Amino acid sequence: MIHGIGIDMVKVERMRKAVERWGERFLRRVFTDDEIAYSYKKAEPWLSLSVRFAAKEAFIKAIGSEIAVALTDIEVMNSASGRPFFRMKDGVEAFFEEKAITCAHLSLSHEREYGVACVVLEKL
């Protein structure tokens, strides 16, 4: 059964400008060390940062307003095959257990101008 669905889109240029303006302070507030490292290994880190931000926003939309979530408590990772997935921390893990949410499906895509993410939360 589906617990929630979320989608979000981020303009890549907006992400670039936010990082240029706020720098490390912005990055550390929104992304984990692993997300930052992964993105900056890319030729255009703004694409990876944009889809990761979109994924976090889509995730928050999928859970609704049931709990407050810090953006760094939701980490967007990639499997060895490249498939994106979430690694959740602290209260998010507890929320999943409480609501019997068993899976968070994540799909990411980006073009030069936009990054988009779709999240489906599945429960027993």
Catalytic residue annotation: 61, 110
8 A C-beta contact, residue 51 and residue 10: yes
Burial class, 84, CB count within 10 angstroms (exposed 0-12 / middle 13-18 / buried 19+): middle
Neighbours of 86 (CB within 10 A): 20
Residue spans of alpha helices (H) in 1-119: 12-30, 33-40, 45-63, 90-99
